[in-house]
Structure 1
Protein backbone atom coordinates (compact mmCIF):
# COMPACT_ATOMS: atom_id res chain seq x y z
CA UNK A 1 0.00 0.00 0.00
CA UNK A 2 1.28 3.45 -0.94
CA UNK A 3 2.00 5.91 1.84
CA UNK A 4 -0.39 8.83 1.17
CA UNK A 5 1.72 11.15 3.32
CA UNK A 6 4.81 10.67 1.18
CA UNK A 7 5.37 13.50 -1.28
CA UNK A 8 5.75 12.33 -4.84
CA UNK A 9 8.95 13.35 -6.53
CA UNK A 10 8.82 16.00 -9.22
CA UNK A 11 9.10 14.98 -12.84
CA UNK A 12 11.18 16.91 -15.28
CA UNK A 13 9.33 18.28 -18.30
CA UNK A 14 12.12 16.82 -20.42
CA UNK A 15 11.03 13.34 -19.24
CA UNK A 16 7.45 13.74 -20.44
CA UNK A 17 6.36 12.07 -23.67
CA UNK A 18 4.72 15.00 -25.49
CA UNK A 19 5.75 14.05 -29.02
CA UNK A 20 2.18 14.11 -30.40
CA UNK A 21 1.69 17.62 -29.07
CA UNK A 22 4.77 19.22 -30.60
CA UNK A 23 5.09 21.03 -33.89
CA UNK A 24 7.71 19.95 -36.42
CA UNK A 25 10.35 22.17 -34.78
CA UNK A 26 10.14 19.93 -31.68
CA UNK A 27 9.76 22.92 -29.37
CA UNK A 28 6.39 24.52 -30.02
CA UNK A 29 3.20 23.03 -28.58
CA UNK A 30 0.39 22.37 -31.08
CA UNK A 31 -2.94 24.00 -30.37
CA UNK A 32 -5.92 21.73 -30.90
CA UNK A 33 -8.54 23.62 -32.86
CA UNK A 34 -11.43 21.59 -31.39
CA UNK A 35 -10.38 22.53 -27.84
CA UNK A 36 -9.96 26.17 -28.78
CA UNK A 37 -13.44 26.28 -30.31
CA UNK A 38 -15.00 24.51 -27.32
CA UNK A 39 -13.34 26.83 -24.79
CA UNK A 40 -14.19 29.91 -26.84
CA UNK A 41 -17.84 28.81 -26.96
CA UNK A 42 -17.86 28.47 -23.15
CA UNK A 43 -16.56 32.02 -22.79
CA UNK A 44 -19.38 33.49 -24.88
CA UNK A 45 -21.56 33.25 -21.75
CA UNK A 46 -18.97 34.46 -19.27
CA UNK A 47 -18.71 37.44 -16.96
CA UNK A 48 -15.83 38.80 -14.96
CA UNK A 49 -16.74 39.99 -11.50
CA UNK A 50 -14.93 41.60 -8.59
CA UNK A 51 -16.01 42.33 -5.04
CA UNK A 52 -14.93 45.86 -4.18
CA UNK A 53 -14.18 47.18 -0.71
CA UNK A 54 -12.73 45.23 2.19
CA UNK A 55 -11.02 41.89 1.62
CA UNK A 56 -13.53 39.09 1.92
CA UNK A 57 -12.25 35.49 1.98
CA UNK A 58 -12.65 33.61 -1.31
CA UNK A 59 -14.75 30.87 0.26
CA UNK A 60 -17.26 33.48 1.50
CA UNK A 61 -17.48 35.12 -1.92
CA UNK A 62 -17.85 31.73 -3.58
CA UNK A 63 -20.64 30.52 -1.32
CA UNK A 64 -22.52 33.83 -1.36
CA UNK A 65 -22.46 34.18 -5.16
CA UNK A 66 -23.54 30.56 -5.59
CA UNK A 67 -26.39 31.14 -3.13
CA UNK A 68 -27.58 34.32 -4.87
CA UNK A 69 -27.35 32.93 -8.40
CA UNK A 70 -28.35 29.30 -7.74
CA UNK A 71 -31.74 29.82 -9.42
CA UNK A 72 -29.91 30.43 -12.71
CA UNK A 73 -28.70 26.84 -12.98
CA UNK A 74 -25.14 25.63 -13.26
CA UNK A 75 -22.25 28.03 -13.67
CA UNK A 76 -18.51 27.76 -13.09
CA UNK A 77 -16.35 30.17 -11.20
CA UNK A 78 -12.64 30.49 -11.91
CA UNK A 79 -10.49 32.68 -9.70
CA UNK A 80 -8.27 35.04 -11.67
CA UNK A 81 -5.58 37.34 -10.38
CA UNK A 82 -6.11 40.63 -8.50
CA UNK A 83 -9.49 39.58 -7.08
CA UNK A 84 -11.27 38.99 -10.40
CA UNK A 85 -13.48 35.95 -10.90
CA UNK A 86 -14.56 34.48 -14.23
CA UNK A 87 -18.16 33.20 -14.10
CA UNK A 88 -19.15 31.02 -17.06
CA UNK A 89 -22.87 30.28 -17.44
CA UNK A 90 -24.50 27.53 -19.47
CA UNK A 91 -26.73 29.94 -21.38
CA UNK A 92 -26.93 33.57 -22.44
CA UNK A 93 -30.17 34.17 -20.51
CA UNK A 94 -28.45 33.47 -17.18
CA UNK A 95 -25.56 35.75 -18.08
CA UNK A 96 -27.95 38.57 -19.00
CA UNK A 97 -29.94 38.10 -15.79
CA UNK A 98 -26.81 38.72 -13.73
CA UNK A 99 -25.54 41.48 -16.00
CA UNK A 100 -28.77 43.51 -16.19
CA UNK A 101 -30.79 42.64 -13.06
CA UNK A 102 -28.68 43.65 -10.21
CA UNK A 103 -26.79 45.48 -7.99
CA UNK A 104 -25.12 42.47 -6.42
CA UNK A 105 -23.45 42.42 -3.02
CA UNK A 106 -21.34 40.12 -0.85
CA UNK A 107 -21.26 41.02 2.86
CA UNK A 108 -22.41 44.55 2.01
CA UNK A 109 -19.64 45.05 -0.59
CA UNK A 110 -20.71 45.76 -4.17
CA UNK A 111 -19.79 43.34 -6.94
CA UNK A 112 -18.53 44.84 -10.19
CA UNK A 113 -19.92 42.85 -13.14
CA UNK A 114 -18.74 43.02 -16.73
CA UNK A 115 -19.15 40.77 -19.77
CA UNK A 116 -15.90 38.93 -20.44
CA UNK A 117 -14.02 39.90 -23.60
CA UNK A 118 -10.70 38.84 -25.04
CA UNK A 119 -9.20 42.23 -24.18
CA UNK A 120 -9.94 41.76 -20.44
CA UNK A 121 -7.09 42.72 -18.16
CA UNK A 122 -7.03 42.16 -14.39
CA UNK A 123 -5.50 45.63 -14.14
CA UNK A 124 -8.70 47.21 -15.48
CA UNK A 125 -11.60 48.47 -13.39
Structure 2
Protein backbone atom coordinates (compact mmCIF):
# COMPACT_ATOMS: atom_id res chain seq x y z
CA UNK A 1 0.00 0.00 0.00
CA UNK A 2 1.35 3.43 -0.92
CA UNK A 3 0.89 6.67 0.92
CA UNK A 4 -1.21 8.91 -1.28
CA UNK A 5 -1.54 11.97 0.95
CA UNK A 6 1.75 13.73 1.57
CA UNK A 7 1.39 16.66 3.93
CA UNK A 8 4.30 18.78 5.04
CA UNK A 9 4.23 16.94 8.39
CA UNK A 10 4.38 13.58 6.59
CA UNK A 11 7.44 14.72 4.65
CA UNK A 12 9.10 16.11 7.78
CA UNK A 13 8.32 12.90 9.67
CA UNK A 14 9.78 10.74 6.89
CA UNK A 15 12.95 12.85 6.81
CA UNK A 16 13.29 12.66 10.59
CA UNK A 17 12.75 8.90 10.53
CA UNK A 18 15.48 8.44 7.93
CA UNK A 19 17.77 10.63 10.04
CA UNK A 20 17.02 8.56 13.17
CA UNK A 21 17.43 5.28 11.32
CA UNK A 22 20.74 6.38 9.82
CA UNK A 23 22.06 7.30 13.28
CA UNK A 24 20.82 4.05 14.87
CA UNK A 25 19.00 1.39 12.81
CA UNK A 26 17.64 -0.29 15.98
CA UNK A 27 16.22 2.92 17.44
CA UNK A 28 12.56 2.88 18.43
CA UNK A 29 10.46 5.95 19.17
CA UNK A 30 6.92 6.66 20.22
CA UNK A 31 4.53 9.08 18.55
CA UNK A 32 4.59 11.87 21.12
CA UNK A 33 8.38 11.85 21.04
CA UNK A 34 8.32 12.40 17.27
CA UNK A 35 5.60 15.04 17.57
CA UNK A 36 7.75 16.99 20.02
CA UNK A 37 10.81 16.70 17.77
CA UNK A 38 8.79 18.06 14.83
CA UNK A 39 7.01 20.68 16.98
CA UNK A 40 3.54 19.46 16.06
CA UNK A 41 0.67 18.01 18.01
CA UNK A 42 -0.12 14.34 18.55
CA UNK A 43 -3.35 14.76 16.58
CA UNK A 44 -1.19 15.68 13.60
CA UNK A 45 1.52 13.02 13.90
CA UNK A 46 -0.51 9.91 14.77
CA UNK A 47 -2.49 9.83 11.48
CA UNK A 48 0.82 10.15 9.61
CA UNK A 49 2.36 7.30 11.61
CA UNK A 50 -0.73 5.17 11.01
CA UNK A 51 -0.52 5.76 7.22
CA UNK A 52 3.19 4.96 7.21
CA UNK A 53 2.59 1.78 9.17
CA UNK A 54 -0.24 0.72 6.83
CA UNK A 55 2.09 1.33 3.88
CA UNK A 56 4.65 -0.99 5.49
CA UNK A 57 7.18 1.78 6.05
CA UNK A 58 7.07 1.49 9.82
CA UNK A 59 7.10 -1.45 12.18
CA UNK A 60 5.45 -1.12 15.58
CA UNK A 61 5.13 -2.87 18.90
CA UNK A 62 3.22 -2.07 22.05
CA UNK A 63 5.29 -1.81 25.21
CA UNK A 64 4.76 -4.41 27.90
CA UNK A 65 1.82 -3.74 30.17
CA UNK A 66 3.88 -3.63 33.38
CA UNK A 67 5.76 -0.38 32.75
CA UNK A 68 2.81 1.91 31.91
CA UNK A 69 0.75 0.50 34.76
CA UNK A 70 3.48 1.47 37.23
CA UNK A 71 3.54 4.99 35.73
CA UNK A 72 -0.27 5.33 35.48
CA UNK A 73 -0.44 5.88 31.71
CA UNK A 74 -1.61 3.88 28.71
CA UNK A 75 0.91 1.62 26.96
CA UNK A 76 3.03 3.31 24.33
CA UNK A 77 3.31 2.10 20.78
CA UNK A 78 6.94 2.10 19.70
CA UNK A 79 7.80 2.54 16.04
CA UNK A 80 10.88 1.99 13.95
CA UNK A 81 11.48 2.32 10.26
CA UNK A 82 11.16 -0.88 8.25
CA UNK A 83 14.65 -1.40 6.78
CA UNK A 84 13.15 -3.30 3.83
CA UNK A 85 11.14 -0.26 2.74
CA UNK A 86 13.77 2.38 3.49
CA UNK A 87 14.79 2.68 -0.19
CA UNK A 88 11.14 3.34 -1.13
CA UNK A 89 10.86 6.07 1.51
CA UNK A 90 14.03 7.73 0.25
CA UNK A 91 12.86 7.48 -3.36
CA UNK A 92 9.46 9.01 -2.54
CA UNK A 93 11.10 11.94 -0.74
CA UNK A 94 13.41 12.49 -3.72
CA UNK A 95 10.37 12.53 -6.03
CA UNK A 96 8.61 15.05 -3.81
CA UNK A 97 11.74 17.24 -3.76
CA UNK A 98 12.01 17.08 -7.55
CA UNK A 99 8.33 17.99 -7.97
CA UNK A 100 8.71 20.91 -5.59
CA UNK A 101 11.76 22.19 -7.49
CA UNK A 102 9.94 21.86 -10.81
CA UNK A 103 6.91 23.78 -9.62
CA UNK A 104 8.72 26.36 -7.52
CA UNK A 105 8.08 29.91 -8.69
CA UNK A 106 11.02 31.41 -10.48
CA UNK A 107 12.20 34.55 -8.78
CA UNK A 108 12.60 37.46 -11.17
CA UNK A 109 16.13 38.47 -11.88
CA UNK A 110 17.25 41.99 -12.54
CA UNK A 111 18.53 42.60 -16.02
CA UNK A 112 21.28 45.21 -16.14
CA UNK A 113 20.53 48.05 -18.50
CA UNK A 114 23.28 49.79 -20.44
CA UNK A 115 24.36 53.07 -18.93
CA UNK A 116 23.33 56.16 -20.87
CA UNK A 117 25.77 58.39 -19.04
CA UNK A 118 22.94 60.72 -18.00
CA UNK A 119 22.31 61.37 -14.34
CA UNK A 120 19.21 59.86 -12.77
CA UNK A 121 16.73 62.77 -12.46
CA UNK A 122 14.97 61.06 -9.53
CA UNK A 123 18.09 60.65 -7.47
CA UNK A 124 18.38 62.90 -4.50
CA UNK A 125 21.39 65.20 -4.57
CA UNK A 126 23.62 65.30 -1.48
Task: Tell me, yes or no, whether TM beats 0.5.
Answer: no
Q: TM-score range by the shorter chain?
A: under 0.3
Would you tell me which structure has more strand in proportion to its own residues?
1
What is the TM-score with the length of structure 1 in the denominator? 0.26
Tell me which of the two structures has the higher relative contact order, counting C-alpha pairs closer than 8 angstroms and 6 or more residues apart.
Answer: 1
